[in-house]
Amino acid sequence: MTRWRTMLIAGGVALTTMCQPVAAQHAAIAPEAWAAYKAKFLDTSGRIVDNGNDNISHSEGQGYGLLLAYLSNSPADFEQIWYFTRTELLLRDDGLAAWKWDPAVTPHVTDTNNASDGDMLIAYALALAGSAWNKKDYLEAAVTIAHALLSHAIIHAGGQTLLLPGIKGYGAAEREDGPVVNPSYWVYEAIPVMALLAPSDEWQKLTDDGLALLRSTQLGPRKLPADWVSLRSKPRPAEGFDAEFGYNAIRIPLYLARAGISDKALLTRLQAGMTVEGDEPATIDLETGKPKQPLTDPGYRIVNDVVACVTSGAKLPASVRQFAPSLYYPSTLQLLGLAFVEEKHPECL
């Protein structure tokens, strides 16, 4: 691995850190796996297609695509995805991306609100690629997005530093149960990089308070967080959303592991709470603790396997090491899990 290079970027700011991200010279994702992912989800225009959601594209998917292209050491693919992202989604006047692009309607952007996790993923991938590949324009774009997140998406409420899921619709002034947050929008591995792009103590507070929220939000018999959480008083499921540990929250343990957060008690509580039999996760009804939908795809099951790897050194089963893309979301999680284990825990392979 190589350390980040120090590079001069917008405003004469130096981007440097002693953390060690995956070096571009070493692809953490196997070429055949990235080729399969591209064939399934990457349109020739550069958009990542969510085939489980009416083939729309969104800022989250573009951010994931950029990160996976970086982890695959694929600069040409990265540039293709970035071209679509900057020309089709970065349309707002605050530096953030419109979250949704629908091929079935015109204009294609049907909702100009942002999704803060998508913005953070985009900025994170741009920073990694810009540093590794000496691309000043990527770094400048990452700086702009990070500053926009800091200015518009990070708020203070109840003594906590929080990440609004979107600029509109989630604050205390807009909802009776606001502010509402989504704990899975904290991309923990990206937050220290945001602090380099847009220096502020707020980023560390965001990490600390996000982790505190995960530790304290133990809803229902399985002691899990909800996908959408009201913080008007004590944490509870937000109004208008299913009271569930759902498809959003399933990625939280993976995000924690990828960030090197080795809180065994938190990881094992989440793992136990979302597991219904063997190592198979499920979406969970928080009130009853009963499973709603088993998540049998290897991309979901790898989350539990990554937790088992980092907490006990367990090897990943062959079923999740083999990559055969199905739906966009679990396939993305599977590659993120495989890349992490390849880079940080090869003993689990």
Q: State the catalytic residues.
A: 60, 117
Encoded amino acid at 158, one letter: G
Could you tell me the two tokens for 318?
């062959």
Report the C-alpha gap between 290 and 242 in whole angstroms: 14
Report the C-alpha gap between 275 and 222 in whole angstroms: 10
CA distances from 218 to 71, 181, 269, 276, 330 (A): 34, 15, 9, 17, 25
Does residue 213 contact residue 229 with C-beta atoms inside 8 Å?
Answer: yes
DSSP structure string for 179-222: -EE-GGG--TTTHHHHHHHS--THHHHHHHHHHHHHHH--BTTT
Helix (H, G, I), strand (E, B) or coil at 101: strand
Report the C-alpha gap between 157 and 143 in whole angstroms: 25
